Chain A
Amino acid sequence: MKKTIAASLILIISSLCLLPGCGKSSSGGSLTVFNYSEYLDPEMIAKFTKETGIEIKYEEATTPEEMYTKFTSGAIDYDLLCTSDYMIKRLIDEGQAESVDFSSFENYKNIDPKFAGYSKSYDPEGKYALPYFWGTVGILYNTKQVKAPVDSWDVLFDGSYSGQIIMQDSMRDSFMVALKYLGYSLNTKDENEIREAAELLKKQKSDVSSYLVDEARDEVVAENAVMAVVYSGEAYLGNEYNPDLEYVIPKEGSNLWIDSWIITKKCKNKEAAEKFLDFLCREDVAEANFEYIYYSTPNKAVVDSMDDEFKNNPAVVPTDESVGNCEIYEALDADTTALYNDLWKEIKSE
């Protein structure tokens, strides 16, 4: 009996060693990378490891909030993290980001210089964040059912497509639509303006078919809904699946978003992390990632070599004028966030 216990103990301990983390590999170190799901061509990870010998432990999440929660919980030490502008700002403000000298990168020149301007709101000196993908939020609509051309958020609020519209199941994005429609800044901290937007969203709820995130595009493709508020990247694929779909950035303006990489303060192998970021800027890698998800890329080299079909599609390459009224999200202060949370719950319980 004792022998069996001893034997099973050995078995348990040895099997524990098979779990990741116990048997460290001896190659060029490893990096723990945290990214949105389906946001990077998995073959590029294999390629990076093959070229540099650096192992990549790849972790995924779906929302910036989820990332922040996982990152700050400290259960896993992430070396690199890709998330949205306002969350990048929050991480920089909290001192979680490591400064990087991007000019030392071999491939940084591929990044369109205009992003240095765009990113001012969250990374004023441009020393933390590397733009990865960007885009806008707009309306994806079915031209078969919507005869008049859509150019305003008005179409979501005037009740003409009651029961056939899909809003984003994301607090910030839904408020953004209402705020922009009312002519306010999407970063407003004015309580009255935010409450006015909430009232508008409450009134709109009976016209909304559903609040979705990832499925919004699919529902318009399947013609279960006539229009949906979506990210521009979704719009391109939606149009591929159903050619009747059209994407528009409403004239009142919208949200311009940039997802960027940062190296975290927890990173123990900065050299490897920089290598990884430099690798992502390389034209062939950026192109592979672009072709994996078809979001707009800040990589000028990739844009320049695109087919006209892509270049002339506002969902893939937004024009400077179409983003003229667009704003980048800024991190909201605690009070405004609390107000948003409460109002959003009220809207949802309406």
Chain B
Amino acid sequence: MKRKRMQLLSIPYVFWIIGFTVIPLLFVFAKAATSPEGDATFGNLIAIFDPVHRKALFLSIELAFVSSLVCILISYPAALIIKSSKIRNKKTLQFIMILPMWMNFILRILAIQMLISKNGIINHFLTAAGIGRINIINTEFAIVLGMVYDYLPYMLLPVLNGVLAIPDDIIEASKDLGADRFTVLTKIMLPLSLSAIGSGITMVFVPSMTEFVIANILGGGKIQLLGNVIEQEFSVSMNWNLGSGLSVTLMVFVLLTTLIFGRGDSDKGRGFVI
């Protein structure tokens, strides 16, 4: 009896997932498998092999990969520092780190645009100091910068939780047994926090790979990611079939990433919640 009532609680979620995930996905699949005239075709799925689309896909993967890597390189040392710090209230540190997420992400990207644009604030200071200018706006570098800025908290949180969850006893024990700091890091810390890094990668890589807004704002419309191609197919070219086909291909890559990096972190239950 009680269980039945509990099941009732899932009704809103079931409706939500059917209405906003399952049905739209079916539409996307249906569009992807047909031509604009309505005939069944594989053309929209094969379209990814078109040189222009392939290039956009590879660029998306490349930038997402670089962003994820930079996020790890920033997050992991930060997590180690927090773990070893004497500060008692580590929650406060964590809180400070996710503070940027309190602001809308497009606003943050626009702020970056202001900072790095040709006559932006950074160049203003650099010229005043006689150093010269940096020209990074409208480049791939600017896009990576934006992605890292936006998605860093998604890496930082799981990594921090993962590192903090490693019991101090284990580290003490390994030190007692003669492990130096490097061995502790590579043989104890990293393996024990691997699943946390994995879930961090999933949460940074996936949105980065499907990104098109950051690419538009910081890339000045000059750099075309697969997300931009899909957006163009839907909003300008109005070829929803091709757009859906490319979306499905992108979904496959997203799924692959989740399978590769997202393994095994659900059963560990590190209590990581956004």
A interface residues (Cβ-Cβ under 8 A, vs B): 1, 5, 63, 65-66, 68-69, 169, 171, 205, 208-212, 219, 222-225, 337-338, 341-342, 344-346, 348-349
Contact = CB atoms under 8 A, between A and B. Distances in A.
Contacts of B118: 209, 224-225
B74 interface: no
Interface residues of B, number: 28
Given A210-B138, A222-B119, A224-B118, A345 B224 contact: yes
B5 A63 contact: no
A69 B232 contact: no
B220 to A, nearest CB: 3
B235 A63 contact: yes
B35 interface: no
A348 B117 contact: no
A66 B236 CA distance: 7
A211 B220 contact: yes
Contacts of A346: 52
Nearest to B55: A349
B222 A211 contact: yes
B237 A341 contact: yes
B239 A210 contact: no
A171 B236 contact: yes
B236 A349 contact: no
Contacts of B237: 337-338, 341
The 6 A-B pairs with the shortest beta carbon distances in the complex, nearest first, are: A210-B220, A211-B221, A341-B237, A348-B224, A169-B221, A224-B118
A345 B117 contact: no
A222 B117 contact: yes
B229 interface: yes
Nearest to B118: A224
A337 B36 CA distance: 14
Interface in B40-60: 52-53, 55-56
B5 to A, nearest CB: 7
Nearest to A163: B135
A345 B119 contact: no
Given A205-B222, A223-B119, A341-B233, 16 more contacts: A63-B235, A65-B235, A69-B238, A209-B118, A210-B222, A211-B222, A222-B117, A338-B239, A341-B236, A341-B237, A345-B52, A345-B229, A345-B232, A346-B52, A349-B56, A349-B224
Contacts, number: 64
Nearest to A167: B221
B119 A224 contact: yes
A65 B238 contact: yes
Contact of B138 (A209, A344, A345): A209
Given A212-B220, A345-B52, A1 B5 contact: yes
20 contacts: A5-B8, A68-B238, A69-B234, A69-B235, A169-B216, A210-B137, A211-B220, A212-B220, A222-B117, A222-B119, A224-B119, A338-B239, A341-B233, A341-B236, A342-B52, A345-B229, A345-B232, A348-B221, A349-B55, A349-B56
Contacts of B234: 69
Contacts of A348: 221-222, 224, 228
A346 B8 CA distance: 52
B247 to A, nearest CB: 16
B220 A341 contact: no
A337 B138 CA distance: 28
A68 B235 CA distance: 9
Nearest to A169: B221
A36 to B, nearest CB: 15
A169 B220 CA distance: 9
A208 B238 contact: no
A210 B221 CA distance: 6
Contact of A349 (B52, B138, B219): B52
A168 B55 CA distance: 23
A66 B224 contact: no
B245 to A, nearest CB: 14
Nearest to A1: B5
A223 B228 CA distance: 27
Nearest to B5: A1
A225 B237 CA distance: 29
Contacts of B138: 209-210
A69 B236 CA distance: 9
Contacts of A344: 232
Nearest to A340: B237
B13 to A, nearest CB: 15
Contacts of B219: 210
Contacts of A5: 8
Contacts of B52: 342, 345-346, 349
Nearest to B229: A345
